[in-house]
Amino acid sequence: MKIDIIENVMQYNSQEADLNRELFFNKKIFVINILSAPGAGKTSFIIENIKKLKGKIRTGVIEGDISSTHDSEKIKKYIENVVQINTGGTCHLNASMVAKAVEKINLSEIDLLFIENVGNLICPVGFDLGEDYRILLSSVSEGDDKPVKYPKAFVKTDMVILNKKDMMPYSDFNYCFFESKVKELNKSAGLITISCKTGEGIDYWLEILSSLIEAKKQNDLQL
């Protein structure tokens, strides 16, 4: 009985996610869902993207939090199209929440939409939001054992970005261990290292992003 309820919830979410995906497809928007533990640097990462993409790609952001507008206020300094979702107590975003938030964004004004999920390495994993691409942001200061402790988050992602590279000299983070565990779980995901503080690795990520957007455009033309 319990399993039935969970299946129904997930089935409903998938249907809603497909509707979101269709909308994003029609509006030609590339959508990225970012997952991480609290404090890994999701907001800083989004801001670094916005700053560097200014004048080239028009960005929008959906901010997911339990409460507060703390992060969306930070982002609002750089762009207009920011919508805050406060889940109240729910530990993840779902596709319906995103559908409602999207209504408040002028979709003809953006090419790229970041969805910053609630800071949590467990609950958001199973919920498709209709995104094109999923990033798992891990950080050096969290330690190298996160793939071992939260494997599903690493399995269900297109890209693992390791942030806070600047912390490496002050940490006992074993990059080889981290990399091997990521690859054990997910052979197809990309893995790059960045520092939102120093800016290291951001340009490299933006090259990847640019090729992802281009590939999607080509793919869409064929549909």
Residues near a copy of itself, by CB under 8 A: 37-39, 65-68, 70-71, 89, 91, 118-123, 139, 141-143, 145-146, 148-152, 164, 166-167, 170
The alpha carbon torsion through 210, 216, 221, 222 (nearest 10 deg) reads 130
CB of 74 to a copy of itself, least distance (A): 10
- Residue 136 CB, nearest distance to a copy of itself (Å)? 12
Please identify, using beta-carbon distances, which residue of 38 and 215 lies nearer to a copy of itself: 38
96 vs 141, which CB is nearer to a copy of itself?
Answer: 141
As measured in angstroms, the least distance from the Cβ of 189 to a copy of itself is 18
How far is the CA of 169 from the CAs of 51, 173, 182, in angstroms?
27, 9, 21
Q: How far is the CB of 142 from a copy of itself (least distance, A)?
A: 3
Nearer to a copy of itself, 68 or 210 (CB): 68
Q: How far apart are CA 205 and CA 164, in angstroms?
A: 14
Provide the minimum distance between the beta carbon of 148 and a copy of itself in the complex, in angstroms, as a whole number. Answer: 5
Total residue length of the chain: 223
CB of 126 to a copy of itself, least distance (A): 8
Question: With respect to a copy of itself, which residue has the nearer C-beta, 42 or 216?
Answer: 42
- List the one residue out of 29, 20, 213 whose CA is nearest residue 103: 20
Q: Can you list the positions of beta strands (E) in the chain?
A: 30-36, 59-65, 82-86, 112-116, 133-139, 159-163, 190-193
Q: Rounded distance, CA 204 to CA 88, Å?
A: 36
Closer residue to a copy of itself, CB minimum distance, 44 or 107: 44
In the complex with a copy of itself, the residue whose CB is nearer, 64 or 112, is 64
Report the alpha-carbon angle 53-41-107, nearest 5.
Answer: 40
